Chains A and B, each alone.
Chain A
Amino acid sequence: MASIEFKKVTKSFGDSTVIEDLDLMIEDGKFTVLVGPSGCGKTTLLRMIAGLDPQTSGAVLIDGKDVSHTAPGQRGVALVFQNYAIYPTMSVRENIEFGLKNNKVSKEERKELVESISATVGLSDYLDRKPSTLSGGQRQRVALARAMVKKPAVFLMDEPLSNLDAKLRVHMRIELIELHKKLGSTFVYVTHDQVEAMSMADTIVLMNKGEIQQEASPDTIYREPNNLFTAQFVGVPPMNTAPLGKDGASFGFRPESAALTRSATDAWFQYKGVIMTREMLGSETIYHVKGDRYTFMIKCYEDLFAVDEPVYVGVPADKLFFFGADEKRIAKNAPGYQAYLDWLRRQVDE
């Protein structure tokens, strides 16, 4: 078990700097998910922990020890790759054993470890098979077993579920959460899929353009986004945001915070529009409402409206978010908040 710390870390590839002066503390034993759009630097961070692409400057600490000059194989970390990176010429057993052999683990101990781990991930019947004869899900398990068998202090995963089909992905998500509970080691998981991040993480580190946008629990990230980027990245569909028309500020609300009605109500923010599209997803329906000035996505748990129907979108005051010109969220107790709330109310009245 180990914590991971980045201290003033900079990473450049040639002339382009991907990450600059980054500080981050990943807690011991937590399931931390690095999430962000592609090219945001999340995989770069992961590879720095593994030592595959060491940082250009600054220090990376694992368990309080500076590992900047430690080889990948000596860092006590295991990495599961997106394409699994299984050794194709070795059998499942040899794949799992390879790391142990290199670490000079005795033959009896190896046999015991391989057998117990393969039982855990359900590969016992496949130990003598070649990877090419396995399904995608089984290969995934080989990659996991290979990582687990070394008993690493830190588990790194680079989009390990993105090559699986949707059903298997949801299943593996639960297995990974259980695995983390059982092993209790530090998990660092990279994904671009915010649903994956929300469902598995103890802590989400949301990144964009090499900078950390917010580092918090899924709950906090969802309810109290730091800034406009976070608000627009998290949630399906993400938060509705629009310019406020004052000081360059914006306002926003979650799709499920609004109510659709056929006649006007006394909601704090009210907006009249027409339903452009309707996506019926089973338990919920997503309406795309378009008016003169704004377009909103609204999530309803009842399917009451039809396309082309004129509707009112109503949002209560306590569900509204405001973001300053610097895109940072304005807290409810901050001085400008009430003024913006009143401004938005007046807009509606006009």
Chain B
Amino acid sequence: MHSKWRLIQSGTSYTLKGVVLLIFIFPFLWMIMTALKTFPETMVFPPRLLPAMPQWSNFVTAMQSGPFVTYTINSVIVTVSIIILQMVIMIPAAYAFAKYKFKGQPLLFALVLLAFMIPGQVTFIPVYLMLADWGIIHTLLPQILPFAANAFGIFLLRQYFMQVPTEIIESARLDNASEFKIMLKIMVPMSVPALATIGLFSFVSHWNDYFWPLVMTDSMNVRPLTIGIAMLRETEGISNWNIIMAGNVVLVLPILLAYLFSSKQIVKAFVYSGIK
């Protein structure tokens, strides 16, 4: 009786997990399969999942339909610059909020929290006008500078830093370490999971960002991959789904790889910070 009940329990559990997994994985699967089909195959009814013969040339067609090398370089420069800038600003800020007591600290922290509640759509016009005023609208900077401070990252890292026993920091001070060294040699190595998570989230959201570069750029030279892929629809015609999906596969590939390599760290970070 008991074991039967167990069997039903685990069976239900696996079925439900399977359904959820399928729901999440199906769009990706469909995208990849479509990228490997010929044009007529994408249109057949009833639709078929697998292509008769994988069409690898779709990728070549997609990449040759525009300045994709420039797009990719732009995307890499923008995303990497954002992540580096964010780390440089976020680590000292989180350290100060977690381990220092100073006047106005609660107010400043409230301001940080407020910052990550305001969506970009609210601020893009004044930000655009300001950057245009500075004369940098034809460079990559408008895609980088507004994201230099990562409010969510400061919040998450602060929670993480708060769990580091103060005695460890005091020990380092007694060992004659400067505050900068304490951050770099003690706090950062102890927070690798949190930093990996924040870095990954940041990478995904800026690699995939469409809205911000769309409104901040006006020339091919500074556009990122997302815009380039979206423009495939114009160059290849609205219904050339196999080519468009090939472009999309190229776009999401780095993200999938990043997830694969850092999933353990991410789980760790969320368990520690109690956000599970």
Contacts and interface: CB of A to CB of B under 8 A. Distances in A.
A71 B175 CA distance: 11
Nearest to B170: A52
B171 A85 contact: yes
A247 B80 CA distance: 82
Contacts of B167: 81-83, 85
Contact of A99 (B175, B189, B190): B175
Given A87-B186, A89-B190, A102-B181, A77 B174 contact: yes
Interface string B143-186: 00000000000000000000001011011111111100100011
A79 interface: yes
Interface in A60-88: 71-74, 77-79, 81-83, 85-88
Interface string B220-249: 000000000000000000000000000000
Contacts of A220: none
Interface size class of A (residues with CB under 8 A): 20 to 34
Dominant SS among interface residues on chain A: loop
Contacts of A79: 170-171, 174
Given A81-B167, A85-B165, A89-B189, A52 B173 contact: yes
Nearest to B164: A88
A73 B190 contact: no
A98 interface: yes
Nearest to A80: B171
Contacts of B168: 85-88
A163 interface: no
Contacts of A72: 170, 173-174
A315 to B, nearest CB: 47
A103 interface: yes
Which of B172, B176, B185, B190 gathers the greatest number of chain A CB atoms within 10 Å?
B176
A82 B167 CA distance: 9
Contacts of B190: 88-89
Interface in A35-53: 50, 52
A50 B174 contact: yes
B161 to A, nearest CB: 14
A79 B175 CA distance: 9
Contacts of B178: 102
Contacts of A102: 175-178, 181
Given A83-B165, A85-B165, A87-B186, A98 B170 contact: no
Contacts of A87: 168, 171-172, 185-186
A110 to B, nearest CB: 13
B173 A73 contact: yes
Contacts of A77: 174
Contacts of B173: 52, 71-73
Which of B165, B168, B171, B189 gathers the greatest number of chain A CB atoms within 10 Å?
B171
Which of A77, A83, A87 gathers the greatest number of chain B CB atoms within 10 Å?
A87
Interface of B: 165, 167-168, 170-178, 181, 185-186, 189-190
Q: Which 8 A-B pairs have the closest CB atoms?
A: A73-B176, A99-B175, A85-B167, A89-B189, A102-B176, A85-B171, A81-B167, A72-B173
5 contacts: A50-B174, A83-B167, A86-B171, A87-B185, A102-B178
